[in-house]
Structure formats: structure tokens, C-alpha cells
Chains A and B, each alone.
Chain A
């Protein structure tokens, strides 16, 4: 018997040392997820602390400029800590507290999930250790400082490619070292069951709000919802409450890096194949012997060689589409949204904006398109300036 499957994907491919920990987590989650007190506490945290519900903003200038579908931006960038990551972290930290855990560990790529975890740990008075690829600590130095300011230990990971996948591996190793008092606050809809389900449920607030907000504004459902996909947490959050509405196109935008025909890419659906890694069966970028490929994207948050198992399943069933977006397209979209709407998106989110620029003009003006702006782009300004040849350092 295997747990937590999305079609053939998912499962619990982890060392025996961690099995009782994930079983305990699943039992605790099942106990609390429908508990009125737990949900009241979480809603209060969402609304009073994180600033939910996040705005659904009509991007009028972008709509006119592109000349097609009416574009709405789901402003997860306006959340406390500047990204959607806080939704999942508040949920998991509250759950960990109820389970009697006193220490949170996390992996981070761009640093957004690490900052969110450090924030929740500060709020709940918990110890916090964040694993971050050494390469990413350089790309996202400001977020490293932020985490330390919030009281977290940031451990630079030097193994492998020194990016997100290595940070996940190191966090998993740390969890096997010290499991009794520690909760692994996984940042995306990936890893062993029950993480893909737990993270999805906490992020599903995004699509729940989009649905309600759009029904109020437009009296109907959107025609398309776009979100960027690394592991895929903001995307699954944006898609979830529309999965059973077949008229809504769900489009995940993967990081193609320098292009899907190069080795410098992180587009898993476009270039990966079925495999088993980081606790789950899903699609992974890998060579013919199953060695995980060293992926690349300008975006540290999408620089991951796999995709969450529920996305793999949505891809298999055709319910969601996954499209590759290159570094160049993402950087142009980053600049475009800044100039057009006065909103600087995270470079991750800019991947979704980039695809919207292609898609919106092909849609009729009475169609509705929602882009989830998963995070804000302050953290990326120096890197994008350097990409454009400016010698700017933080």
C-alpha cells in the first residue's frame, strides 16, 4: 500500500529513519485540518499578520497594451514577507506547534521560503535553521541577512550544485539527524506524502480568493489562470479551486533558463522524465542513468530539477498545461510589469507575466486572465541589473 498518490506520482520514498515522522505529521494534519480552533487561529494569522486576503488587481494598462484578454493580477507579492510562501509557513508552523515541535528547519532557493520560515519561527518563538545553496546565498545576499535578522541560522550548502535541490537534500539529512523536536517546514508541493497535500491545502487560499474576488467583480470564472512553477506551490494554490471547473485553463510557467534545447534549463515537464527523488515519484531532469541533472535558471526559486507530484498528474491528465519561459523573456517581463503597472514582480513570477504577454493578445477582449504575482521583486533588482550589464551590488 502506498500513500499520497496523484495518479502514479507522489508516494513516500524516504529513509526508514523518517517514516514515523511523516506518519506522525500526517496523523496530526488529519486531526487539525478540520478542527475549528486550528482554522480560526490560522485565519486570524492569515488576515491579521500576513495581510490576507491579497488583492486581485485589474491591470488596466497591461490589458490595453496587450489588446486581448482582461488581465487581473493576484497580488501575493503584497503579503507579509513579500511572497505566497507565508501562507504555507504559517500553516505548517502552527501545526508544528500543536505537535509540540520547538524547532523548524527549511530549505530555500531564492530565500523567500527561508525568510517566511524565519518569520514564523520568530513569531512562534521557535528555533530555526535554513539550508540554502551557497550559490544562492550569493545571488540572494539580502535574504540571507533578513533570515539572520529574524533569528535564524542560515547554513550555506556546498554539496552538489549548491542550489535549491542540494538545500532540500541537506534539510532532509538534517531531519534524519534530529527528528524528535524538529519539524521540516518544506516550502513547496513536493517531497514525501503528506507534504504535497499539506502545502497545497495551505496555498489553496489563493484560488479560493481569486474565485470569490472575480465572481464579485466580473460575476464569472476566469478563462485562464497563470502561475510560475518550480516545485509548484503558488501554481497549485492558484489552480486548486478551479481544477473541477473545466472551462478554466490552468497554465504553469516553467523556467527554461537559456532554452529547453540547451542543458542550462530547469523546465522539468518540457525536458524531464519520470523518476524517484526527494521522496516522491514525479518528473525530473535527469540523464539516462537516472543521475539528477544540474539545472539552471536565472531565478533561484525555480532552479529545481523536479516538479510537485500533483502537477505531474495534472500534466498527465491534460487538466493543466505547462509552458517553458526563458531567462530573457522573464527579464523582459520583469521590466515590462515595472514600467506598465508600477509593480516589480519577483523574477519567478515574471515567468508567468512573460507567458501572459504572449497569451493575452490571442484571447478575445471579453476573456478573463488571472496571473498570480507570487512575490515581489526587490530581492531581484541587483541580479537583473547585472544581467543587463550594470555593475550593481547590494
Chain B
């Protein structure tokens, strides 16, 4: 069982997402620690990409601010090395294929192993294209997380059977961002996943309130929140860690 899988053993998971380098890497580090302190199960660290086609305006904006601030893949590796002095919960990178490809997939993924990154989430790598990265992920013990969408239908079983770490269930059509309501029959998709995989399932996209998180986690094994946290950081900048901590606390308290 991978670190990621075992992290889900402790109850419903809460998974926050942070864009590395927005507004700066010091604030990102402080936000990570605030998330850990307030009970996050694992953390998604976004390596910003110039043209993130699966993101809504909030995370697009954070990505561009971070890149303008001069953040790079190497600086984010340094951030993780620094975090790993005291942060022990699983950390996964969320980024786009070109960031890894241009760095050299093997160099990138072996570095992940060395610095203590447990998994990768790549929204532009569907099942059909994963081979290019999954073999290297196996080699270096990094979980390549699979995503399942409301439109996956007949593909759910196939994806679930080959998944690693946890399964990222996309709650809604469209891109990342806060939604009033989630209308997908998440429970029905989770049932098909369960028939095909023993991995934990976490639901993401559109979740911002404790009520939504509670509802989604009740149907699965946990909730992922990105845009709502990134928006707090956009508002409070260097003061954000305190607010992010409070927010994560409110979410983890509701979940367990």
C-alpha cells in the first residue's frame, strides 16, 4: 500500500490544493504547514503552467501570478525539500504534461522520488496516453493518479482497474472552480469504481463549502478543494496562511 493509500485509512480525507509561488514560495510553504496543522490528509501542490486548459479563472490567475513572480520547477523542488524537514503527510504534484515532458520525464519523476513527492496528477494525460509516464512512475515509486469524469461512463472500470494511489473523481463537467451545486450522480460512479478497484476515491472540482465537502465525502472517501483556497490566497496574499488554516480546520472538522 502506498503512502497515499494508507493516508486514507484515518477517516474521510480532506485534500487542499495550492498553486506554488502564489503570491510567493514562502507563503506557499506557510500555507502547506497551516493545512497540515489543521488536519489535511494530503496536499496537492500545483506547479503552474502558462496555459492550464483544465482550470477555471481562479487557478488560471494564480498560475500566471506565480509564473510572473519567477517561480520555476526547480524552485518548487527546493520548496518541497524544505517542507520535507517537518511535513510527513503525502504530497502530490498537480501539473500539465508539458512541464514534466520538457524537464525530461525521467529526471522529473526520479527527482519526485528523491525529494518525497508521492504522486502526480496530470489533467491532460488520459488513460490512453499514460504509458509514457506511468512506467517511470512505477520505476520510481510515484503514484500516477487517474481521473474519472462524469462523462467517463463505459471507461470508468478500465481506468479504475489500472489506477494508483487514489482515484480523483471529477464531480462536474467543465473546468476547476467553485460551483453552487453538484448535479452529477457521484454515488453511482463511485459504485462502479468500487467494483473495479480497492483504492480510495476523492471527489474534486466545484467543492467550496463544508456542506458540499461533507456530502461528497459521504459518497466517497474524501473531498478535494482547490479554487476556494486559491481565492483566499488571492485575497489575503502573505497573510493567507492564517485564513487557509481556519478554512481547512472548518472542512476537516465537518468531515470527521
Contact = CB atoms under 8 A, between A and B. Distances in A.
A275 B147 CA distance: 22
Interface string B128-159: 11010000000000000001111111110001
Interface stretch (B33-41, B169-177, B209-217): B169-177
A277 B101 CA distance: 10
Contacts of A179: 151, 173
| Interface bin, chain A | 35 or more
Given A276-B124, A290-B103, A16 B148 contact: yes
Given A286-B98, A290-B98, A290-B103, A17 B50 contact: no
Contacts of B178: none
A291 B127 contact: no
Contacts of A278: 51, 53
B102 interface: yes
B98 A292 contact: yes
A172 B53 contact: yes
Contacts of A292: 50-51, 98
A263 interface: no
A166 B57 CA distance: 12
B51 A160 contact: yes
B153 A20 contact: yes
B30 to A, nearest CB: 24
Contact of A290 (B57, B101, B152, B159): B101
A12 interface: yes
A15 B98 contact: no
Interface residues of B, number: 43
Nearest to B47: A289
Contacts, number: 121
A12 B128 contact: yes
B54 interface: yes
Given A177-B173, A178-B173, A276-B97, A16 B159 contact: yes
Interface string B69-81: 0001110000000
Contacts of A277: 51, 98
B129 A11 contact: yes
A15 B60 contact: no
A28 interface: no
B126 interface: yes
Nearest to A173: B175
24 contacts: A13-B97, A15-B54, A15-B124, A16-B126, A16-B149, A16-B152, A17-B170, A19-B127, A159-B60, A166-B51, A169-B51, A173-B53, A176-B175, A177-B173, A177-B175, A178-B173, A179-B173, A274-B101, A275-B98, A289-B102, A290-B73, A290-B103, A291-B50, A292-B98
Interface of B: 49-51, 53-54, 56-57, 60, 64, 67, 72-74, 96-103, 123-129, 131, 147-155, 159, 170, 173-175
